[in-house]
Structure 1
Amino acid sequence: MHVTRRPAASNDTARVLRCHVARLRDDEIDEVDGLAVTSLARTALDLARSLPHEAAVVALDAALHQGRLHRDVLRERLFDLAGAPGSRAAARAVDFADGRSESVGESRSRVLLHRWGVGPSSLPFEVRGGDGLLVARTDFAWEEHGLLGEFDGRVKYGRLLRPGQEPGDAVFAEKRREDAVRDEGWGVTRWVWADLVTGHRLAARVRRALDRARR
């Protein structure tokens, strides 16, 4: 458990408790079930300045995507943390965060792809046919190169199945969707959770796909 105390308390660390000493505005303190807790914005920024960059972006993306926070609020509150430990890391995470990421996998993918110099130009991206009708909505796009990227989490073929739909049905529907996208002249590259463990290999796969798309 992490707690925050105002100065001039001391930083205490125990087996299950870690105390942080930091300035707190009165409006950064809320109450939940009778307990004083930091506000959502302050909690998000504290996470952003204490977690590794990838984990911080995941947390911020989720809060922004759910509409529970606005980037302008986070940027405004960053000034209150100026000079505090981790404030620069928090600013970097806030600047990179994007509420258009719809899952942990998409957020982690975006961090890794940018880290290895192959960040997408758009997310998410809608592919439309010549008649203007929507063909598919994809996770990422490198528009200049005509390449689309898709992160495939198993949830797509599990608890997100429609009533009466089997995993095989979802796989077949996904194949038809990809065929329709390719018919519009787009290339497609996919990856899964295991690919996020070795970011350099994922980046290499995307580079190869970009090279093929350029030809």
Structure 2
Amino acid sequence: MTRTSSFPIDLHDIKLRRQLIASGWTDRDIARAVRSGLIHRIRYGAYVDACLWSRIEGQRDEHRVRARAVLRTAHSSSVLTHQSSAAEWEIPLWRLCLDDVSLTRTDEVSGRREAGITHHAGRLPLDQITVRHGVPVSTAGRTAVELLSTTDAELGYCLLNGFLNLGHTRLEEVRRIAAQTERWPNTLGTRIAIGLADPRLGSVAESRFMFLCFREGVPLPEPQVEVRDETSQLLGFVDFLWRKHRLFVEFDGRIKYEVFRRPGESLADYIQREKRREELIVRATGWMCIRITWADLADPSALARRILAILASRAPTAA
């Protein structure tokens, strides 16, 4: 059978209890099949072949399977929204809660909660619905606004930049949808996030750092700055730069290593290459580098004080 998406489990792969009973199974047969590892129970009354379930990796994919099981019994106008839509858009979901599946109906039925499902109230126009990986979801711009209204400011900002960086939506679309939903909660946080949003921020760490600067009163740096030598040869990019203070920031971390290391390159080789790149940039520009890690972001006040002290020690120059 032709699959409708690259995700290993489609809607038709999920079998409901009533289907199994209709095909001759008994509840005892179902229980025995679950115990023996033949099928996997996704949620109450919904099952999938255990071989397909074995291909599922991580909390995001498990949520996507549960969302498909919910859609199998939901009202026909139901659309995956909020975190359930974000999971289908495959943006970084750092600390986004995936415990419940989120749905919104196009017939504007009032919201409610039931076991493992949140039914959201509100109008969902047809032009803010699309199909992704074979399931109906809110568009990327709409999903970004939904999350901005239901999460804290830092998380919402990181998620918004994830959509923008991957090219799933544009800031103009997010602004337009936000203007249509001005009566939703957290409109102040939404406006702040949209004002700070930058598609150049390619990781959660970068977004968290920019938000930290805003919140802690650190002058906002330029992200992802291209650096060239006097012959215009590209030396590389720096994560953040305060140009007038001749200071740049580089992130250290496992994710960066996994993304940017070359085929066959060891961690030690990658670190040495990064060190040489940093030295070339420092020699060519006269800038100073400070390196920060994910752990540094856990104490924003301390990191802000450290950066402000360095900025204060380096008199600004003309741009």
Q: TM over 0.5, yes or no?
A: yes
Partner Cα distance (1:32, 1:99) in 2: 22
Check the 8 A contact 1:65/1:100 in 2, yes or no. yes
Check the 8 A contact 1:7/1:21 in 2, yes or no. no
Partner Cα distance (1:100, 1:206) in 2: 22
Partner Cα distance (1:201, 1:159) in 2: 28
Structure 2 residue 156 is matched with structure 1 residue 56:
yes
Check the 8 A contact 2:225/2:240 in 1, yes or no. yes
SS at match of 2:236: strand
Check the 8 A contact 1:31/1:37 in 2, yes or no. yes
Distance 1:145 1:42, change over 3 A: same
Distance 1:179 1:75, change over 3 A: same
1:78-135: per-residue Cα shift (whole Å, max 9, x none)?
2210212233322222221110001111111110112111143311112222222222
Partner Cα distance (1:87, 1:7) in 2: 24
Structure 2 residue 180 is matched with structure 1 residue 97:
no
Check the 8 A contact 2:110/2:122 in 1, yes or no. no
The amino acid of 1:142's aligned partner reads: W
Q: Which residue of 2 aligns with 1:137?
A: 237
Partner Cα distance (1:38, 1:122) in 2: 32
Higher relative contact order (CA 8 A, sep 6+): 1
Distance 1:164 1:68, change over 3 A: same
Check the 8 A contact 2:108/2:123 in 1, yes or no. no
- Of structures 1 and 2, the larger Rg is shown by 2
Check the 8 A contact 1:49/1:88 in 2, yes or no. no
The amino acid of 1:198's aligned partner reads: D
Q: Which residue of 2 aligns with 1:196?
A: 297
Distance 1:34 1:130, change over 3 A: closer
Q: Gaps spanning 5+ residues in structure 2: where? A: 1-100
| CA apart distance, 1:174 | 1.3
Structure 2 residue 177 is matched with structure 1 residue 77:
yes
Q: Which residue of 2 aligns with 1:209?
A: 310
SS at match of 2:237: strand
Distance 1:159 1:126, change over 3 A: closer
Partner Cα distance (2:171, 2:286) in 1: 35
The amino acid of 1:185's aligned partner reads: G
Greater CA drift, 204-213 or 95-104: 204-213
Identity rate of aligned residues, in percent? 32
| CA apart distance, 1:51 | 1.1
1:17 to 111, 117, 120: 117
Check the 8 A contact 2:102/2:118 in 1, yes or no. yes
| CA apart distance, 1:195 | 0.7
Partner Cα distance (2:125, 2:264) in 1: 52
Q: Which residue of 2 aligns with 1:108?
A: 208
Partner Cα distance (1:193, 1:113) in 2: 15
Q: Which residue of 1 aligns with 2:83?
A: none
Check the 8 A contact 2:108/2:124 in 1, yes or no. no
| CA apart distance, 1:198 | 0.7
Partner Cα distance (1:9, 1:94) in 2: 29
| CA apart distance, 1:62 | 1.3
